[in-house]
Structure 1
């Protein structure tokens, strides 16, 4: 198993099943705690991002279609070594495409405009896979420690990064 299928299997393992934590803004259809409908998150697919989706009854196959279309393809993950693609994909699912792409661009030392184009792709490809993974995860740690919800969710996010570094050591 390689590419998207392996990345999906890993990310779904991180994201888990159905949750309706009322303190997590992603579980609310408006993205604002206490406003809108508390529909939850399942397989990392959140009510905030997909307010009209039946989150509770979402199947893993439906989630896979969403992941491919809205995260893998938008991040142009097929353009990179599979080890980098997985890292970028996991970040896109967890932090949004724009944030993940900007972190990748900062890791590659190009303008962080959130748009993947030829310059960004070339800069990433000019680096070793190990360097990209290390710098990308460093950017991710810098990003998550600045979030106001780090005190609540930071341990889980940090453990996720640790797991991704372990994958990186195997994949690179």
Structure 2
């Protein structure tokens, strides 16, 4: 990009972030204009200053934190129009590394490296090969929404996050296509931090393995009972009784194997989708 869009992008981000918040369900904790208490504490300590409430953050401190820890972290001045803002907003909401991962996921198959959240040569080279940045922005926002949906906090903040990403998508595409973007608006819950630490856990395959194991064992028992039935065939009553047991056991065992297999397929599918959303799936 020829001219930095940092100032314009920051104005949009601040509109989304609002003022002070301290929602107990927000993993970011106490936050002022998008800067968490933890980030502010680290910033103050890094300058050899005493920590204080993030409510007291000055405009200069706010601008410096946004500049160094978010805009520069995603290399905003090296990104195309629109893409710069989209990654910047994602960095404030979920961290710079996670926002870069959204980009790397969106750059497939041009980008063949690891989804590692590092804006390295491979990522920038793939980005330069893109000739349709508005479509790229769509894919970045799709990756971001997929990530958000796999967070345990989505049930609480999903509505706000979805509204925020819709606006980010529209604003980013407008800048990418040379149009005047819409205003950014604050939506309740949209300012909550969305961290990978709050990702849902993949369901365990243990119940499936247990069911399949039990079903296999049951089928083995039916073989033993069939042998016993053959030996007792002269005794019609005993033979018929064992036959009924064999049929019931075989049906139950088959259902356990089939059900266990179906559950294992479901858990593997859920785990795959979770890995894709978190950027941990192989390529």
TM-score (norm 2): 0.54
Asked whether the equivalents of residues 4 and 72 of structure 1 are also in contact (C-alpha less than 8 Å), the reply is yes
CA distance in 2, matches of 1:53, 1:87: 31
Which of 117, 132, 149 pairs up with 1:114?
117
Structure 2 partner of 1:34:
none
- Residue 98 of structure 1: how far off its partner (Å): 1.1
Change in Cα spacing, 1:158 to 1:146, as seen in structure 2 (3 Å) is: same
CA distance in 2, matches of 1:71, 1:117: 16
- Residue 84 of structure 1: how far off its partner (Å): 0.4
Change in Cα spacing, 1:170 to 1:103, as seen in structure 2 (3 Å) is: same
Asked whether the equivalents of residues 25 and 48 of structure 1 are also in contact (C-alpha less than 8 Å), the reply is no
Query: Is 2:143 aligned against 1:139?
Result: yes
Change in Cα spacing, 1:77 to 1:170, as seen in structure 2 (3 Å) is: same
More helix by share: 2
Structure 2 partner of 1:75:
74
Greater length-normalized contact order (CA 8 Å, ≥ 6 residues apart): 2
Kindly tell me the number of residue pairs found equivalent between the two proteins: 160
Q: CA RMSD in A?
A: 1.5
Structure 1 partner of 2:191:
none
Structure 2 partner of 1:63:
62
Asked whether the equivalents of residues 26 and 49 of structure 1 are also in contact (C-alpha less than 8 Å), the reply is no
User: What whole-Å deviation, never above 9, does each CA across 1:93-146 have from its counterpart, x for those lacking one?
Assistant: 000011111111111123211111111011112112112201100000001000
- Residue 47 of structure 1: how far off its partner (Å): 1.8
Asked whether the equivalents of residues 4 and 77 of structure 2 are also in contact (C-alpha less than 8 Å), the reply is no
TM-score (norm 1): 0.87
Higher alpha-carbon deviation: 46-55 or 2-11: 46-55
CA distance in 1, matches of 2:115, 2:80: 20
Question: Moved runs in structure 1, 4+ residues, more than 4 A?
Answer: none
CA distance in 2, matches of 1:71, 1:53: 21
Consecutive unaligned residues in structure 2, runs of 5 or more: 42-50, 177-283
Q: Which has the larger radius of gyration?
A: 2
User: What whole-Å deviation, never above 9, does each CA across 1:68-115 have from its counterpart, x for those lacking one?
Assistant: 000111111111112100000000000001111111111112321111
